[in-house]
Chains A and B, each alone.
Chain A
Amino acid sequence: QKEVEQDPGPLSVPEGAIVSLNCTYSNSAFQYFMWYRQYSRKGPELLMYTYSSGNKEDGRFTAQVDKSSKYISLFIRDSQPSDSATYLCAMSLTGGGNKLTFGTGTQLKVEL
């Protein structure tokens, strides 16, 4: 079993839809949770990060962490074609000095 599980998709939604992307993990020691966005033929870039449980909102994006269920989510409101990308969750044991463990990524396509 992988340490971090993520549905690979592809996920196709119409413009304006609410998108929910999810990851589950097995290591309860993970404390920091991140979402990276990767456009085709580009490197991943950090989209959002959260520490421990709770929600964090940034514009159209909301990151949610439920440590009791070992489950994290990224919600995208009013999705746009420019949101079409692969979204990777990542997590680490501590805030620094420790490597990231990535999910396999979910490919999202937002259609006009």
Chain B
Amino acid sequence: DADVTQTPRNRITKTGKRIMLECSQTKGHDRMYWYRQDPGLGLRLIYYSFDVKDINKGEISDGYSVSRQAQAKFSLSLESAIPNQTALYFCATSDPEKAGFGETQYFGPGTRLLVL
């Protein structure tokens, strides 16, 4: 079984709709992240959470919100989707106990989102 899972894997929605992308992990890591990936722009950090009570904005948080329901679950919401949010979204986790080795992050398989 995959250590980091994301649902749904693919989603098509319309402008103005609210959608939620979910991430679950069985790695036991405290730290979780949401990224979006766009051609030519690479991976950009949306939000990150170092534990259940700690939520931080990344470089492109506008238009997004997150919820850390438990250590293992981190959800990303698009309050009112727009076509510009069409992208590949990744969830990732990391282990602070191994932080001295360069903040290794473990990625989920991604959610492909199309906003019409």
| A-to-B contact residues, CB < 8 Å | 4, 6, 8, 32-34, 41-46, 49-51, 88, 92, 94-100, 102-105
Contacts and interface: CB of A to CB of B under 8 A. Distances in A.
B42 A46 contact: no
Chain B interface size range: 20 to 34
B96 A97 contact: yes
A83 B59 CA distance: 31
Contacts of A44: 43, 90, 107
A51 B102 contact: yes
Interface string B1-44: 00010000000000000000000000000000100000011111
B102 A49 contact: yes
Interface of B: 4, 33, 40-45, 48, 50, 58, 90, 92, 96, 98-110
B42 A32 contact: no
A107 to B, nearest CB: 10
A46 B90 contact: no
Nearest to A31: B102
Nearest to A44: B107
B99 A95 contact: yes
Nearest to B41: A104
